[in-house]
Amino acid sequence: MRSNKRQYPVAAAPSLTLGTVVGVIILLWGGALWGDGGPFISPPNPVVRYSGGAGYPNDPFRISTAADLEQLCVTRAHWGLSFKLTSNIDLQCKRLTPIGTSAKPFTGSFDGGYHCIRNLLVYDDGSTPGGTGLFGVVSGENTTLSGVVLQNPTIIGNSADDVGALVGRLEGAKVWQCGVCAGRLFGAAGRDSRIGGLVGSNVGGSILECFSTATVEGVSCCGGLVGNNEEKGTVQDCYTAGRAIMRPLCPLDQPYRCGGLLGLQRGWVSFCYADTPVTVQPSDICTGYRGGFIGAAIMAALPNISWVLCCLCNTSYSPAVGGTDTIPGDISAVSRAALMQRATFTHWDFKIIWCLRPNATPRLSWEDHLCAAEPCNN
């Protein structure tokens, strides 16, 4: 006869295995994260949670508050993970430290979702060597910053060599569809500093479909978008409409370079324009180069390294190139009225990448999504 009494299995004594030990560690530390040092890297602070997510590409940490962004700035163990901005953030000029240094660069991904980060303040005090900006040093061919828009940032380089509102130094990484609306940047006091409205130095990286309308002030190498575009650095489908001001500290080890789009050009540039006044103050105390598009171009040892293709600048800020070697490619200096005409932009992509509205210079099509449909005043 079968008993109606429920039979409960007798639990066997647990065996201690490597899997059990790893599982206990994961539970104690609040979850496993993939980091630079191996498959299981525990966060240094189990309280760090941001506004959701797990830091993976398919489940990025979500940044929705100023506190989330501040946490990312100081949590170096997370600088190889994935992040997504989910709302506009007003930092109210609260000072942040750059994300990524020369010793520990940012190697993850950051998707801004076309939201605005407003009133960013970054002041270099020498404690984060490598670069100054929201991101100090960004490195790696699989590293991407996309859809990030900074509105009215203030970036003070002080002693940093590379200064940019978004990235101080870009090393082989990709910046796509990012922008800087207004704001002001001040270059380092060093005699060989590089400062750009978006990126300070582009060392083999790609800057695609980006813009800056910031005012940039440098002492040695200054560009409206990029201070120094190195060999194999790519800048494509970008524009500037801010100001570039050179305030040289004399005597300089080499002539200053100041350009509406690029300060010093050694890489690849195509389908870009600059509508940016370029001034030197005072104008007669140092030797240097000033150009409406490029401050100075230096050819590499190999021929045809420095390419400029289908680019334009406002003729009011001529010459297009301030000095040094001949550039293979073409830059046209045209009037501002011509910059408002579709026919001026031969071979440019106005179906997908660019748009042209009446009585205005071209803008990037993705700008319609700026700040989640909120206006980005520039």
Q: pLDDT by residue for the chain (378 residues), tens digit each?
A: 444 444 434 344 444 455 544 443 433 344 333 333 333 334 444 456 799 999 999 999 999 999 999 999 999 999 999 999 999 999 999 999 999 999 999 999 999 999 999 999 998 877 767 899 999 999 999 999 999 999 999 999 876 689 999 999 999 999 999 999 999 999 876 557 899 999 999 999 999 999 999 999 998 899 999 999 998 899 999 999 999 999 887 766 678 899 999 999 989 999 999 999 999 887 666 788 899 999 988 765 455 455 889 999 999 987 888 876 555 568 899 999 999 999 999 999 999 999 999 999 999 999 987 754 444 443
Nearest to 22 by CA among 12, 14, 32, 11: 32
Q: At which residue do the structure tokens 């194999």 appear?
A: 232
Dihedral sign from CA coordinates of 312, 314, 316, 322: negative
SS (H, E, C) 316-360: HHCCCEEEECCCCEEEEEECCCHHHCHHHCCCCCCCCCEECCCCC
Residues 300 and 365 in one domain: yes
250 domain-assigned: yes
For residue 288, which phi and psi values (nearest 5 degrees)?
-175, -175
Kind of pairing between the strands at 38-41 and 33-35: antiparallel
13 domain-assigned: no
Residues 241 and 361 in one domain: yes
DSSP 71: H
For residue 213, which phi and psi values (nearest 5 degrees)?
-120, 25
Residues 225 and 319 in one domain: yes
pTM for the full model?
Answer: 0.85
Residues 66 and 186 in one domain: yes
Domain count, the chain: 2
378 domain-assigned: no
200 domain-assigned: yes
Residues 36 and 176 in one domain: no
Residues 36 and 144 in one domain: no
Residues 43 and 112 in one domain: no
The CATH number of residue 318's host domain is: 2.160.20.110
pLDDT confidence of residue 33: 38
Boundaries of domain holding 333: 60-373
pLDDT confidence of residue 328: 54
7 domain-assigned: no
pLDDT confidence of residue 227: 96
Residues 36 and 65 in one domain: no
Q: What is the dihedral of CA 180, 184, 187, 193, to 10 degrees?
A: 20
* Tokens, residue 357: 């509205």
Residues 109 and 36 in one domain: no
pLDDT confidence of residue 109: 98
Residues 64 and 32 in one domain: no
1 domain-assigned: no
259 domain-assigned: yes
Residues 220 and 348 in one domain: yes
Residues 28 and 172 in one domain: no
Helix H or strand E segment including 18: helix 18-29
